[in-house]
Amino acid sequence: MNPLLQDFNTAPFSKISNDDYKPAIKKAIEIAKSEIDEIINNSSKPSFENTTVDLDFTGEKLNRITSIFFNLNSAETNDEIQKIAQEVSPWLSEFRNDITLNEALFKRVKTVYNNRKNLHLTPEQEMLLEKQYKGFARNGANLNENDKSRLREIDTKLSKLSLQFGENVLAETNAFELHITKEEDLSGLPESAKEAAHQLAKEKNKEGWIFTLDYPSYIPFLTYADHRELRKKMAIAFGAKGFQNNKNNNEKIVLDIVNLRHQRANLLGYKTHAHFVLEERMAENPEKVISFSNELLEKAKPAAKKEFENLEKYAKKLDGIDQLQKWDGAYYSEKLKKEIFDLDQELLKPYFKLENVIDGVFEIANRLYDLHFEEISTIDKYHEDVKTYSVTDTQGNFIAVFYADFHPRSGKRNGAWMTSYKSQQIKNGVNERPHVSIVCNFTKPTPTKPSLLTFNEVTTLFHEFGHALHGMLANTTYNSLSGTSVSWDFVELPSQVLENWCYEKEALELFAKHYETGEVIPMKYVEKIKESASFHEGMQTLRQLSFGLLDMKWHSENPSEITSVKAFENDAFSETKLYPDVAENCMSTAFSHIFQGGYSAGYYSYKWAEVLDADAFEYFLEEGIFNKEVAIKFKETVLSKGGTIQPMELYKSFRGKEPKPDALLKRAGLI
């Protein structure tokens, strides 16, 4: 029997073989189609219950199976899984179109929608109905037959292209290694980085040390290696992903994706892809996003230029470097930071043993939201590195299943993300609780040391855990409005707000303890962490804004005339550029957030949410970072509500007013 087609609670990873996916997905699509047919063929007149609610509950089996499959395609993939993904993606995009372009189904949805004023619906029911109706209208339900088939064609192509894009980036990441055999070439590198590189070389049966483009290997190398030519080699390899003359080149894929997205938007009656996307976001339209970005740019640019000039002077004074290059930035920044604040990232790492940081984030969640995490071994996992937890509240009620997967592997894409295997919903009177997962790429333990995190990795863990809380504390009726199913420029608020606790003495004392002595992190370090938090904030802000503006430029103009990805990108970066261009490098060809993930025309949302998070955290600071009343208010107005109410309304019900960028600018030291 196919384990994916059985009824299961937690994902049955160990029972699944790759041969199970295609038949299971095929069968689950058939089941979902018959559920849709039941709604269409219902002889009773369309009502909220027999149409809107029934439709929200369709495809449950399919969602569970595909979430397992695509989560593994990101966290534990192989050639076979990638091949299956290429085959099943078109089936799924065709199935989605079968629903949104189904006239009989849309007719029923429209009937309920047009009668909504007489139905006495709750705000959540109204939101479900509106999102459902818009889901049809915004995805072609009102098109004629010719345009519908063109839309299907575009969607199928897009789903295949974004998969191919991601596969190419992963292949490029895995293809490069810097093999060092001379000890003097390691000068400047911390012991932990050398030890990890030596271990990797050993695993590959080679002498010496191997560095890769995986973040835990790449970032320390760029930050600490004294050997400038080798830093250059690493940086160029990193920036050349998808931009080399080989089978993994993504240039044509980028142009195909942006053109298809533009055509799709036009077909649906929108000026550009960004206009289509932003209609359903807090930001509303590209003009607003661009003006928001430019307003921040105006504040950040003078600071960034000044920081850059100082860094350049510093590099010249230290090593006689006339022109600062991209592979020099992290290296000299770290040295300068150490000099100014007397703060060395390597000195901090012993205080951030992974297990302690996990306990710390759990303890903070306990103090704020009364959650209790217990590691359990009874749940199936897809890799031995994965940790599994049962989450309960203070009364012992079951809240969620939590998976955490922390270390890099060859089958895992770079970066960090949160995802889920099962959404929360209330069905047949039962509150079905969610299964949530976070995936990161932190330094692995070595024979002599546990996994010790950089401070940056600590904030990454808190960030993803903030998303996880949004998923775990979900408490809505309908799964399509549950947890992180919120407007995309609101989704980063819970994640970014939690990062603030990493800078607070009261929170750090809970978990920042030396892994050998148990000594709590000295207060002088905590003060230095806080002081240095806004170090080079102008440059950091400029960098984030440059990514958001590049994304907007790809998606808010007609791309049909673009012939060179690189030239277009250089033009987009003209206002935010500090370092000289590197001819062999291109950002867009590996910009997975917008060409593989869901951030197209949405990358600005990180900065947008920073405005929200700085403003929200100011409230916690006023009342105390563990103030129960503020925490409960945040849980009840933001974390548990999902997408049931417009985000600005949720925010105002928490904060009592709309957010202003002042708190962010103040925190960043820009005013």
pLDDT of residue 671: 78
* Cβ proximity of 442 and 341 under 8 Å: no
Please give the structure tokens belonging to residue 652. 């105002």
**Residue-wise pLDDT tens digits, 185-194:** 999 999 999 9
Residue 2 has pLDDT above 90, yes or no: yes
Q: How far apart are CA 294 and CA 292, in angstroms?
A: 6
**Residue-wise pLDDT tens digits, 8-62:** 999 999 999 999 999 999 999 999 999 999 999 999 999 999 999 999 999 999 9
Q: How far apart are CA 332 and CA 140, in angstroms?
A: 52
pTM of the full structure? 0.90
- Average pLDDT over every residue of 413-425: 95
Average of per-residue pLDDT values in the chain: 96
pLDDT of residue 664: 86
pLDDT of residue 399: 98
pLDDT of residue 344: 84
Backbone angles phi, psi at 481, to 5 degrees: -110, 10
Percent of the chain residues past pLDDT 90, beyond the cut: 93
Residue 661 — very low, low, confident or very high, per pLDDT cuts 50/70/90? confident
pLDDT of residue 446: 87
| Angle at 185 (CA atoms; ends 182, 189), nearest 5 degrees | 125
State yes or no: is 464 an active-site residue.
Answer: yes
Q: How far apart are CA 419 and CA 71, in angstroms?
A: 7
Backbone angles phi, psi at 399, to 5 degrees: -105, -45
- Average pLDDT over every residue of 158-180: 96
**Residue-wise pLDDT tens digits, 64-119:** 999 999 999 999 999 999 999 999 999 999 999 999 999 999 999 999 999 999 99
Q: What is the SS3 string spanning 30-53?
A: HHHHHHHHHHHCCCCCCCHHHHHH
- End-to-end CA separation in angstroms for the chain: 64
What residues does 425 pair with on adjacent strands?
432
Q: What is the SS3 string spanning 495-556?
A: HHHHHHHHHCHHHHHHHCECCCCCCECCHHHHHHHHHHCCCCHHHHHHHHHHHHHHHHHHHC
Query: What amino acid is encoded at 351 in this protein?
Result: Y
* Higher-scoring residue by pLDDT: 329, 533: 329
Q: How far apart are CA 624 and CA 187, in angstroms?
A: 45
Choose among 128, 9, 122: nearest CA to 57.
128
Residue 420 — very low, low, confident or very high, per pLDDT cuts 50/70/90? very high
Per annotation, catalytic residue among 464, 557, 610, 618: 464
Structural domains of the chain sorted by starting position, each given as residue range(s) with its CATH number in brackets: 3-142 (1.20.1050.40), 176-239 (no CATH), 350-533 (1.10.1370.40)
Whose structure tokens read 């810097």? 178
pLDDT of residue 220: 95
Choose among 489, 546, 551: nearest CA to 258.
551
- In 321-379, where does DSSP find H-type helix? 326-341, 345-348, 354-369
pLDDT of residue 172: 97
Choose among 113, 174, 90, 243: nearest CA to 591.
243
pLDDT of residue 291: 94
* Cβ proximity of 411 and 76 under 8 Å: yes
pLDDT of residue 666: 86
pLDDT of residue 572: 97
Choose among 571, 560, 595, 609: nearest CA to 272.
560
Q: How far apart are CA 192 and CA 325, in angstroms?
A: 26
Query: What amino acid is encoded at 539 in this protein?
Result: M
Helix (H, G, I), strand (E, B) or coil at 384: coil
Residue 345 has pLDDT above 90, yes or no: no
Choose among 325, 446, 410, 414: nearest CA to 593.
414
- Average pLDDT over every residue of 576-593: 97
Q: Which helix (H) or strand (E) holds 13?
A: none
**Residue-wise pLDDT tens digits, 346-398:** 889 999 999 999 999 999 999 999 999 999 999 999 999 999 999 999 999 99
